[in-house]
Amino acid sequence: MKLSTGLGLAGAILLAGCATPKKYTFAPTGDPLADGRTAIAQGPPQDKVLWEYRTAAVCMRRAQFAEAKSLLDDALLTLGGINGKDSGAKKARGYFHEESKKTFIGEPYERVMAYYYRGILYWMDGEPDNARACFRSGQLIDSDTENKQYAADYVLLDYLDGFATVKLAGDGSDALKRAQTEARLGPPPAYNPKANTLVFLEFGRGPGKYAAGEYGEQLRFREGSAATRGAVVQAGSQNVRVGPYDDVSFQATTRGGRVMDHILGNKAVFKSSTDIAGNAALLGGVVAASNRRTQEIGLGLVAAGVLTKIISSATTPAADVRAWDNLPQYLSFAALELPPGEQTVTVQFVDASGRPLPNGVRQAKIQVVPGHDTVLFFSDQAS
């Protein structure tokens, strides 16, 4: 290997790794809805889905369901076509491109939540068949469909799959059995086919992400928190107490119930080994170059060492810590059978001891129509 050739290749790699990324700047207003819209329109294209996720959650909590649908539909369209087609994702699978440069689609728990929210909105629009399709898509994302190492274990995905099937005059008993078997926080009740008011509940602040390891290559999760641990749903003479059925932090940190250590550690192994190899080549080259008889070999080793060191420095193993950071900690659900006509549904969020929480009341006036499900969504988060 000639010294000029080695250094030329090294320089080319170095220049390729030092391209200046395009800068995106906008002044935040403090309103998560306005800021989300701006980030979607003006932010980096690879972050668009991330901001659609975050903004859709805000819209859900503000009952701006039409906008939430539009945002989730666009995000799910990207999810549906991402595998193998996105050039950014392909580059991020290589050693010389940061994970954060790829198009964000999220970890499995984040993608599941996109389908979960969209399923709620479909049912809200009187389409339980499409809602069920969303819940089943979430189940597939949560399971290992390729290696069959683990199965989906969201209680509500199975429970709602079966409930939608019952509403469509089918047999949802298998899904109900799976949901009750998977339940760790409390088993969901048997289906009431006559229930016509479906109440989706969420509470707490969900998990976060951070990087760990020598090179920041390990993606780890910070558990969420929640003062709210349940709710009392009241309408007319009915009072239904519900607790959480799914823990989003648990889903983020496990696969099939097995706790993960970290994700994306493989790139650090490559960086470490190339860095060590570069040091060895440089040292050997310097020694060899000091001897006239082995000077050419030594210079070649120096060039190889420089090249390897540059490859090592160009490797970017840092984990992608971009996160759907306004997800809830807990998911819950209640189904009521109410008489036709105007009704008032009140939700009181409660703590672990069952005590009402300050500012924990949510209320909605609804019109119960025979033969039609009324779907409500309540969160203890302001936005």
Percent of the chain with pLDDT over 70: 70
Whole-prediction pTM value?
0.80
Which position has the higher pLDDT, 318 or 381?
Answer: 381
Instruction: Please state the rounded mean pLDDT for residues 361-373.
Output: 96
Band of residue 20 on the pLDDT scale cut at 50, 70, 90: low
Residues 6 or more apart whose CB falls under 8 angstroms from that of 59 comprise 33, 65, 67, 68, 71
**CA distance linking residue 286 with residue 301, whole number of Å:** 8
Top mean pLDDT of 97-101, 269-273, 329-333 is at: 329-333
Strands (E), the chain: 197-203, 208-212, 218-222, 230-235, 238-242, 246-247, 254-255, 258-259, 330-336, 341-350, 356-368, 374-379
* pLDDT per residue as tens digits for the range 22-32: 667 778 899 99
* pLDDT per residue as tens digits for the range 232-260: 999 988 999 999 999 999 999 887 666 66
Place of tokens 């971009």: 322
The predicted pLDDT at position 383 comes to 75
8 A C-beta contact, residue 206 and residue 328: yes
Our measurement of the distance from residue 193's CA atom to the centroid of its chain's CA atoms, rounded to an integer in Å, reads 32
**CA distance linking residue 340 with residue 190, whole number of Å:** 23
Among 248-257, 296-305, 319-328, the least confident range: 296-305
Average pLDDT score over the chain: 81
Instruction: Please state the rounded mean pLDDT for residues 73-88.
Output: 69
**In sequence order, what DSSP letters do the residues of 220-272 get, joined into one string?**
EEE--B-S--EEEEEETTEEEEE--SEEHHHHHHEETTEEP--B--HHHHHHH
The predicted pLDDT at position 328 comes to 98
* pLDDT per residue as tens digits for the range 116-165: 999 999 999 999 999 999 999 999 998 865 565 667 889 999 999 999 99
* pLDDT per residue as tens digits for the range 195-212: 999 999 999 999 999 998
Instruction: Please state the rounded mean pLDDT for residues 40-62.
Output: 97
Distances (CA, A) of 322 to 26, 83, 98, 105, 112: 18, 19, 12, 10, 16
